[in-house]
Amino acid sequence: MSDWWEITGGVTAPRGYKAAGIAAGLKPSGAPDLALIVSDVEAIAAGVFTMSQVTAACVDYCRQRLMSAAGARAILCNAGQANASTGNQGWLDALESAMTLGQALNISSESVLLASTGVIGQRIKMDAFKAGIPKLVESLSENGSDDAAKAIITTDLVTKSIALETTIHDRPVRIGGISKGSGMIHPNMATMLAFVTTDAAVSPGLWQEMLSRAADKSFNAITVDGDTSTNDSLIALANGQSRTPAITEMGAEAEKLEAMLTAVCQHLAKAIARDGEGATCLIEVRVSGAQNERAALQIAKTVTGSSLVKSAIFGRDANWGRIAAAAGRAGVPFEQDDLRIKLGDFLLMEKGQPQQFDRKAASTYLKETAAESSLPQDVAATNNSNDLTVDRNTLKTQRIDNPVIIEVSVGNGKGEGKAWGCDLSYDYVKINAEYTT
């Protein structure tokens, strides 16, 4: 049993935060496309960003800001244009974005962090952007998390949000988060954006360490299609408004806060994987018996990212050979005779040898799992990728509590790891084939 519980409110559940999301005219569809999260006071900021050598202006901007100072008041995100591979003018647009918001909030532009999502190679529509800032600031609300979550999505079918609460020093402490992502998702920051807030008080260095470790166990452990984006960003603010003593080193309080932070990030990461473009189910790969956690995670990522495994799951085919092959090519040494594979409750391989199992029942397990976590028809309709948005009146939360479970054991080591992904369907090709045409 965990030391925390789920609450409502997303990124505005922690004390001292407001959020907003509006339609500023950045998306052709007219859907929400500009989001803002603001702390009432200067907050400690941390970030984890894409490992790609091709980076968006917002990523370069945030890295520069966080290297010079660990404080921030606001996170501003636009959807529709990625502002990546846009040269010096894209960089100037980022600077102007921060300055425009800073003036509207009456804070320093140095306290503004940026994120963008959309088509690579397209600059932000600055005229519409600047015209929308006053309305965005005016819309800030302690109940604005859902609006912000809607304004950051592109090809997503659902919004993604979570908030948890615990007690530290007998006072409530909360962490909330929102994220977006559906395609171009792969470990080493899988296109995804995630914004996390907490009212805990944490020292800058420790907060960054916590976030990096949480990212490794969540956003760096998901894959949809094997592609890492130019814009991937995970940004976290800690404003201390819970009025609890500052956490400056690892100990019981720090471990509790980090565990809750990891839980928030894992929820958001799994929601991204389940909402993979064209996906019909979430896949969870659990690896045990490896030499260490890193080795186990490497195997789990490789199995989860295998196009053949993903295709078999979509076809409801319990093809254990594809799982074994993926585990074997993960770059982690193990004895073939130690390999054990399960799909749900079905034992497929033991001691490196295939086992007799009911293939029809295993296929039914895959079908039923996908059906139980499927979206209602009004939400699961074909996505309009031309507009880079899901223009629906109501976005529903995707179920992530019933994934297809694949268990792989490779020996007697203590290393364990988990990774998440989704199946690979015909619709994935359709969505991405028509992305900009």
pLDDT digits (tens, 9 = 90+) for 384-403: 343 444 433 344 445 677 89
Q: Is 212 helix (H, G, I), strand (E, B) or coil?
A: helix
Span 148-169, average pLDDT? 92
Measured CA angle at 32 (ends 28, 38), to 5 deg: 140
pLDDT tens column, 10-27: 999 999 999 999 999 999
Length of the chain: 437
pLDDT tens column, 189-239: 445 799 999 999 999 999 999 999 999 999 888 876 555 556 788 999 999
pLDDT tens column, 398-424: 567 789 999 999 999 999 999 998 888
Contacts with 395 (C-beta within 8 Å, 6 or more apart), sequence order: 150, 153, 157, 158, 159, 379
At 212, give phi and psi (nearest 5°). -65, -45
Cβ atoms of residues 420 and 309 within 8 Å: no
Q: Look up 191 and say whether it is catalytic.
A: yes
Span 91-112, average pLDDT? 97
Q: How confident is the model at residue 272 (pLDDT cuts 50, 70, 90)?
A: confident
| DSSP strand pairing (340-343 vs 404-409) | antiparallel
Residue 183 pLDDT > 70: no
H helix runs in 180-232, sequence order: 204-216
Residue 190: per-residue pLDDT = 44
Strand partners, 20: 36
| CB count in 10 Å sphere of residue 426 | 9
Span 57-73, average pLDDT? 92
Measured CA angle at 396 (ends 394, 399), to 5 deg: 170
Q: What is the largest CA-CA distance in the chain?
A: 69
Active-site residue among 154, 159, 191, 304?
191
Q: Which of 326, 360, 325, 354 shows the shortest CA–CA distance to 342? A: 354
Domain limits, the chain:
5-274, 282-433
| CB count in 10 Å sphere of residue 143 | 12
Average pLDDT score over the chain: 89
Q: Which of 236, 229, 149 shows the shortest CA–CA distance to 190? A: 229
Q: Which of 59, 10, 22 shows the shortest CA–CA distance to 196? A: 10
Q: Is 125 helix (H, G, I), strand (E, B) or coil?
A: coil
Strand partners, 376: none
Q: Is 272 helix (H, G, I), strand (E, B) or coil?
A: helix
pLDDT tens column, 292-303: 999 999 999 999
Strand partners, 119: 81
Residue 76 pLDDT > 80: yes
Residue 422 is given by DSSP the state E
pLDDT tens column, 300-313: 999 998 999 999 99
pLDDT tens column, 235-269: 999 999 999 999 999 999 999 999 999 999 999 99
Residue 339 pLDDT > 70: yes
Cβ atoms of residues 332 and 410 within 8 Å: yes
Residue 232: per-residue pLDDT = 82
Residue 224: per-residue pLDDT = 63
Using the structure block, give the residue that is written with the tokens 């945030």: 62
More confident residue, 164 or 155: 164
Element (H, E) at 264: helix 252-274
| CB count in 10 Å sphere of residue 350 | 13
CB-count burial class (<10 Å; 0-12, 13-18, 19+) for 96: middle
Using the structure block, give the residue that is written with the tokens 């907050």: 43
For the segment(s) 5-274, the CATH number from 3.90.1310.10, 3.60.70.12, 3.20.20.70, 3.30.470.30 is 3.60.70.12
Cβ atoms of residues 320 and 343 within 8 Å: yes
Element (H, E) at 169: none
CA distance 257 to 238: 11
Span 368-387, average pLDDT? 54
CATH architecture of 282-433: Roll (3.10)
Alpha carbon 121 to chain centroid, angstroms: 23
CA dihedral 196, 9, 56, 137 (to 10 degrees): -120
The CA distances from residue 36 to 47, 162, 163, 237, in Å, are: 17, 17, 17, 13
CA distance 435 to 389: 11
Residue 111: per-residue pLDDT = 97
Residue 275 is given by DSSP the state T
184-209 per-residue burial string, b: 16 or more CB within 10 A, e: under 16 = bbbbebbbbbbbbbbbbbbbbebbbb
At 58, give phi and psi (nearest 5°). -65, -35
Residue 399: per-residue pLDDT = 61
Using the structure block, give the residue that is written with the tokens 């894959």: 223
| CB count in 10 Å sphere of residue 437 | 6
